[in-house]
Amino acid sequence: MKVFKFGGASVKDPEGVRNIAKIIQLYQDDGLVVVVSAMGKTTNALEEVVQLYYHRADGYAEKLESIRQYHYSIMEELFPMRQHLVYEEVEHVFYQLKLICQTKPEVDYNLIYDRIVSYGEILSTRIVSAYLSEIGIENTWLDARKLIKTDQNYRFAKVNWSFTEILLKQAIRNAKGRYVIQGFIGSDDNYHSTTLGREGSDYTAAIVAYCLDAESVTIWKDVPGVLNGDPKVFEDTVLLRKISFSEAIELAYYGASVIHPKTIQPLKQKNIPLMVKSFARPEAEGTEIQNGSSLEPMVPCFIRKTNQAVLNVSTTDLAFIVEEHLSQIYATFHRYGIRVNLTQNTATSSTFVINHDPVNVPMLLEDLKMHFTISYRPEATLFTVRHYSEKLMDEFLRDKHPIISQSTPVIYQIVVF
């Protein structure tokens, strides 16, 4: 059994769905679990619906209708006959979304977020599964909300591995079968929808592979594999053909967007190779990630994280920042699901570079203000260079004016506005 994961860019239009089918046909002799993300920018659009609905603002119905029209435009090309069952299935999904948005919003924003945003993957997998069946690729559609069991930490849910493994093995009994399942989503013990963190479909692929002892995982991307930097941001990037799990974990931790940070560890534990390949050129070699210590070639790796903010926290009486204060601050970060990407300390203050979450950060700041003096500045960018040299950094910093810099023998980080 192999696990394939296709992201939103892979299914953004009818040609993308057809391309998935072509790739699957190249693996006719293999059992496959196909993990699919929401189509195109559907998750972003559903996040807008959540915001409008939660704040009881006008426009959420129109936004839902634009999402519906987008999916219909894809279906109309793939399924010209409007009597096809997929239209009824997709219409039922939008009926459920409309019912949710007609009720009074609950207090817990994150619970509402997961309930609404999770439908993006339901829509995409209904369409992909139906198209595969239409062209003769037998497959079984699976509902990840019934199989990926988590806690109630909405938007950042943690997996109940033992329960999930039992459910997946019960659902996927045919080692040569074809299965289509949603990425990114699961459910808690009360069957409330949960999500695994933004871009969490990669993580779903790793969860499925771990629980089924899969032969391998392949993530199909719009890039040739894992590059030493985002080609949209950095010039002269090169393909890393083979890297170790440890190296991949480091790159993902510091924000390399090609792999979700949580993806690597489950695969490493069971020594399941991870391939990152181009969905436009499936015959190309791509990148293989596996156990070992090699990074070929050993080149600097560049990572850019946008949508960052610099938060400075100091004691109200200018007393030293000590372990008790730091413990309280980090507990507050955890309570609001805020990721800290860099930190620096002085005697009386600590500076944190965090993801700017427009919903949870305001609540975080109000909480911290009760105990500390704070300043907060968004719109920052964090650059990380792994395997740097002094000569390289001199050139890299030439046109940048960092307000924070930090380095180890392997990692160099700067924050700029």
Binding site for ATP, residues?
5-8
Residue at token pair 């949508």 = 307
Q: Which residues face 384 on adjacent strands?
A: 303, 413
Residue at token pair 């950060």 = 361
Give the residue ranges of the annotated binding site for substrate.
Answer: 43, 121
Q: What are phi and psi of 188, to 5 degrees?
A: -90, -170
- Residue among 21, 55, 234 nearest 130 (CA): 21
Rounded Cα–Cα distance for residues 409 and 417 (Å): 25
The side-by-side arrangement of strands in the sheet containing 411-416 is 340-345, 349-355, 301-315, 372-386, 411-416, 404-407
Q: Which residues of 191-227 are buried (b: 16+ CB within 10 A; e: fewer)?
A: ebbbbbbebbbbbbbbbbbbbbebebbbbbbebbbbb
DSSP string computed for 247-278: HHHHHHHTT-TTS-TTSHHHHHHTT--EEEEE
- Residue among 60, 214, 185 nearest 123 (CA): 185
Q: Which residues face 335 on adjacent strands?
A: none
Q: Please state, as a whole number, how many other Cβ atoms lie within 10 Å of the Cβ of residue 269.
A: 11
Rounded Cα–Cα distance for residues 126 and 181 (Å): 9
DSSP label of 126: H
Give the residue ranges of the annotated binding site.
Answer: 5-8, 43, 121
